[in-house]
Amino acid sequence: MAGTYDDRDGFIWMDGTLVPWREANVHVLTHALHYASSVFEGERAYGGRIFKSRDHSERLLRSGAALDMPIPWTVDQIEAAKAEAMQANGLSDAYVRAVAWRGAGEDMGVASHRNPVRLAVAVWEWGAYYGDAKMKGAKLDISKWKRPSPETIPSDAKASGLYMICTMSKHAAEARGCSDAMMFDYRGYVAEATGANIFFVKDGEVHTPTPDCFLNGITRQTVIGMLRERGVAVHERHIMPEELEGFEQCWLTGTAAEVTPVGQIGDYAFEVGALTRDIAESYETLVRA
């Protein structure tokens, strides 16, 4: 599939109907466009099967509830919508984007209880999120923006508005020749990349930030399970910036990123070592099993 995302062949599932891709539009006064009342999921299908599909559908509903935006579809209905969208577009290996938002309605202020909550599912072919970084390791900038306190945002929701500082961070990173940026949290601890969780290796053990103010990714949880099945010690804890110098390996996890090695964060360098490669290859095997 080629071209801009609004000018492609195919179909997008919207509110129970398959709509021609170019006609899958919303009104300019859609509440989500003005007030970020939107949640979404990013998923990947391998060989016709969406990895952890129900987990994603369940999280979509939880995210909507966290934003006081109950989504009027069940998990089973969302699962059926994803299957229908994949079949309509003839794809078996695909990226799947389910998105729910408050549409246009009687309200156009901050409050929006009278506006309908809408749901769409789009699927398309999407290769490696970080390009050739899977072989040589991604290069990360360090963002000036910090993940905010959970007292200020629903940090356990996959909400569109929470990605604003991620977009700015990634733009700044790309301007410096990097693939992405690592973010600290509001306390100064290492948090995550702009759209992926982060892991470090030292002396054969794995360290990863505690997800107490950012999303506990489904891929993150999967990889922690894989490591523990191998008998690798995994420490979920607060990580200070000065600890970066002592880590030997690093990788990112996420549905789009899958498992991507990191070769550099700011001035800190990491090897794409055996454990990193093993987990990346094992994850690839798992999702295609």
Any bridge partners for residue 207, and if so which? 200, 235
Tokens standing for 280?
Answer: 């990346």
CB 212 within 8 Å of CB 187: no
SS (H, E, C) 232-253: CCEEEECCCHHHHHHCCEEEEE
Which letter does DSSP use for residue 22 in this model?
G
Rounded-to-integer distance, Cα 239 and Cα 257, Å: 22
Cα 222 from Cα 197, distance rounded (Å): 12
- Residue 158 is a catalytic residue: yes
Catalytic position from the list 82, 134, 139, 158: 158
**CA 40, 44, 49 angle in degrees (round to 5)?**
120
Closest to 57 in 3D by CA, of 37, 36, 42: 42
Structure tokens at 167: 């977009």
**C-alpha distances in Å from residue 277, one per residue of 225, 250, 271, 284:** 16, 11, 10, 11
Q: Report how far Cα 286 is from the mean position of its chain's Cα atoms.
A: 19
Query: Whose CA is closest to 195, among 129, 110, 265, 116?
Result: 129
Beta-strand relationship, 138-147 and 180-185: parallel
Q: What's the length of the chain?
A: 289
Classify the C-alpha dihedral 163-165-166-171 as positive or negative.
positive
Residues catalogued as catalytic: 158
